[in-house]
Each structure stands twice: as C-alpha cells, then as structure tokens.
Amino acid sequence: MIYFDNAATTGVKPQQVIYAVNKGLKKYSANPGRSGHKAAVEAATAVYSVRQQLSDFFGADGPENVVFTLNCTHSINCVLKGVLRRGDHILVSSLEHNAVMRPLAKMGVSYSVFNVSFTDDAETVRSLKEKLRPNTRMVFCTGASNVWGKLLPIEAIGKVCSEKKMLFGVDAAQIAGVIPIDMKKMNIDYLCIAPHKGLYAPMGTGVLICRRGLAETLIEGGTGTNSVELKQPEELPERLESGTVSLPAVMGIGAGLDYIKRLGTERVYSHESGLIKELYHGLKSINGIILYTPEPLMGFYAPVLSFNIEDYPSETVAEWLSENGVCVRGGLHCAPMAHRVMGTLESGAVRLSVATFNNREEVISFLKLIKTKKITKNLKKAIE
Amino acid sequence: MTKFNTGSITYAIKGRDLLRKKGFKARIEKITSGKGGGCGYTIVAEGDGAVAGELLRKAGIKILD
C-alpha cells in the first residue's frame, strides 16, 4: 500500500507514539486533575509535561496556555465563538476549510475574504489590507491550503495584525510539525493544531494555544477547580477543558513531538518537499494530467499537491488508485472555497500528501501507475 | 511549611516545579474542603514561606486566599 493521504491523518504513527499511548493507558490510569492521590498527581504531571513541550516548541507564553481539545475543528470553534461578537468583522483567506467557514456561517458574523496569491505573497498581504474595515476585530486564516498546499505569509499577516491591533488566529492543521511556527515572533494570538497530522499523534485530540483570553466558552462543566462556583473558571487551560482530557492521546502527542524534534522540522520539510516536487514534475510530464499550481517550491508550499486526469471525476480516479493500492483523497476536501478559486468545484481534485515515512520508490511506483495507458481505459470502464 | 492554594492543578504543578528548581521541597495536595471554593490544589512548600510566595507571584501563579 502507498499512503499518500497524510493531510487527512499521518498514516504511520512512529513506534514511540504507540508506546507512549500504551504507557498512558497502563501507567497513568488515574484522572489527571480531579483527585489528590499520588497516582492522580503523577497523571497530571505527565499531561503538564506535554503542555510544556508544546509551549516551548511553538513559542507560547507558558504551558498553562496550552489547551487540549477534541480536534483542530473544535479548537477553531473555541476561538471563533469565544472571541467574535455581533457587529464584529473578521477577515479570512480565500482558501479556508469548512472548519472556519461553517462556524462563521452559523454565527452570522460579518466576514470578508482576502485573496491568496499563488505566486506573490506581497499580493496576498495587499489584498488583506484592502479588505480591512474599522470594525475588523480579527484575521483568521489557514497556515497552508489543505488542497493546493500554498503556504500563507503568516509572519507578514501577523505583522499587519499587530500594527492594526487586531487578533490573529491560525489554522495550523497542515503546517504544525512541518513548518517552523513561533507564536511570539509571528504575532499569533490563537494557534489551532491537528496533532494527528504533522505531530504523528493519535486521532481524536486537538491542541489550542492561546496568547489571549477567550470571553466565551463552548462547553462548561467540571474542571476539578472551584466547584462551589457555577461560573466557568477564567484561567486557562481549565476554562476550555471541562471534562476529562484523553491522557493516552496526550502522551501520544508528546511522543510525536519528540519524534519530530529528533528528526528536525527543517529535515522533515525538506524530505517531504522533495517528494512533492518529484510528484509535480512527474505528473507534469504525463499527457492528460491537469495541475493547478506553479511548481511547489520550499518556503512557499506545504507538502500537498492536487491534480486531475482529463475530465474524469476526482473521486473515480481516487477509487481506481485505491483499487491499485494507493491511498489518496478525491473530492472537495471540506474546502469548497479553495476549489472555487481554482474552478474545480464540479470535479474536485485528487490530493497527494506525503509524510516522513514516504519515499522516492513510492513516488516512482505511483508515477509509473499513472503513466500506464490502462488507467484511462479502466477509468472509462469505471464510469460507464 | 506553607500552603499556597492555586486552585488549578496546572498552576499547582507549575508552582511546584518552580519552587523545586529554586531549592525548595514542594509537593501538591488537594485543597482542604471549605477553602478554595470547594475543589482544587495546593502547593505545600517547606522553607521560607515569604520567599516561596514571592517566587510564585513573580511567575504569575495566582494564589487564592
């Protein structure tokens, strides 16, 4: 099997992550932050140490600002619904995932879309500035498109937000663990992370790192603090962590982060970028392949690439690839805005996304498969 | 021995680790019922309570009454 669907979740979790999750289940079986016995405090200390690791890695203000959520979408909802009020205006990019757009649609908050240029980051920043209004409270944008891979100029956007005294939130689902992120340097106020992607952690837990407070909460409940008060605590992380966190998954996050730190983010990005570049050039040389972006250069693109084959529906191509042992995602990738930008709203696209365990041999095998004339014959058969 | 009620386990661990780094013997206990709003954690520190308290306050660790 060739697994090129890492933008959905990294398909191979390192042994140390599996071990850490197991250890979380066996060794730290007490609830971290409810009782006062030794086992409970040890469990809480284990969770705290992962908060500390995440805080150091992403340039946060301290471990107490690292919140464990259900997933990245939950983190994004916490930010948007925690910050925005009636009458506020928010700027989002033209490539946002539904994790951002659906909450905004439900909230009925006023938003404008700034255009992301695929060739000129300065143009992206210009577009953002043009859309600013006097009541623009926040910019929330993806770090990289989950469809086209385009990296947004986060540091430059953060600078604008700082100058204009606006809040800045980032959906780091596709970049955490791949591209260096320093919240202080980039003026990021809220960082939403999908640890099961670039941090190789188990699915089912997200991370939200805050440098500012959140006025409203999504969920209220038991936090192990100040139980007499019916009011939700003000302080993070407990303010956003009602109920029990998934300690085994948190241990997995810590181990996944260790894995990435040991390899080095630059080395990871260089490896994955190299594979995507080879895929791009290989696909470009094949008749009938449609590519939509310029060459995905390092520093401008995350390791994600989407394409189509002639006018075949992307889901059909993805199904055919699956029958031949290749895992990819076809369709709209929960990001209709990104497809609207490229004119692929009808066809969708076939997405390739690589990780540390993918290699050149897999790229070569995939391109050989795509090159065979049998593909179009079989696709034609598949859709007849 | 001085007790510092932090409420949150996160701040209790942060405070405990900070005091230990500064040479204090420190551990975490549950807040005695009736204090801290009914639930929470306290840092129990041996040594100069005033110095320990100042270290915690400088680190932004909120000490409950």
Q: What is the largest CA-CA distance in chain A?
A: 71
Query: Taking the model in full, what pTM does it have?
Result: 0.95
Q: Which token pair is A59?
A: 């340039």
3-class SS of residue B2: strand
Q: B62 to chain A: which residues are within 8 Å by CB? A: 235
If you average pLDDT over residues A192-220, what whole number do you get? Answer: 96
Binary contact (B37, A229; C-beta < 8 A): yes
Cβ contact B39–A227 (<8 Å): yes
Alpha-carbon span A354 to A365, nearest angstrom: 14
Cβ–Cβ below 8 Å for B7 and A225:
yes
Examine the pLDDT at A373 and tell me if it is beyond 60.
Answer: no
A340: its two tokens: 């609207």
Spatial distance between the Cα atoms of A186 and A188, rounded to a whole number of angstroms: 5
Q: In angstroms, what separates the C-alpha of B49 from chain A's closest C-alpha?
A: 22
Give the span between the Cα atoms of A10 and A18, in whole angstroms: 13
Find out whether B24 and A248 touch, Cβ atoms under 8 Å. no
| Cross-chain Cβ contact B40/A224 below 8 Å | yes
- Give the length of chain B: 65
Reported ipTM: the value is 0.89
Joined tokens for residue A188:
């990021």
Question: Does the beta carbon of A180 lie under 8 angstroms from any beta carbon of chain B?
Answer: no
Q: What is the pLDDT of residues A131-177, one digit of tens each?
A: 999 999 999 999 999 999 999 999 999 999 999 999 999 999 999 99
B2-7 and A206-210 beta bridge pairing = unpaired
pLDDT computed for residue A33 by the predictor: 86
Least confident of A105-109, A151-155, A165-169, A328-332: A105-109
**A266 vs A128: CA distance, rounded Å:** 29
Nearest to A228 among B10, B37, B41 (CB): B37
Q: Which residue of B has its CA nearest to A35?
A: B30
For residue A373, give Cα distances in angstroms to A322, A368, B44: 17, 10, 74
pLDDT score of A215 more than 70: yes
Out of B14, B28, B40, name the one closest to residue A225 (CB): B40
**pLDDT tens figures, A337-365:** 999 999 999 999 999 999 999 999 999 99
A68 in contact with B at a CB cutoff of 8 Å?
A: no
Of the candidates B14, B29, B38, which has its C-beta nearest A226's C-beta?
Answer: B38
Which tokens hold the place of A5? 């669907």
CA separation for the pair A157, A175 (Å, rounded): 16
Residues 217-256 of A with CB under 8 A from B: 223-229, 233, 235, 237-238
Mean per-residue pLDDT, A214-239: 92
Integer-rounded Cα Rg, in Å, for chain A is 21
What is the least distance, in Å, from the CA of A80 to any CA of chain B? 25
Average pLDDT, integer, range B26-40: 77
A contacts of B41 (beta carbons < 8 Å): 36, 225
Which of these, A199, A179, A210, lies nearest to A255 by C-alpha position? A199
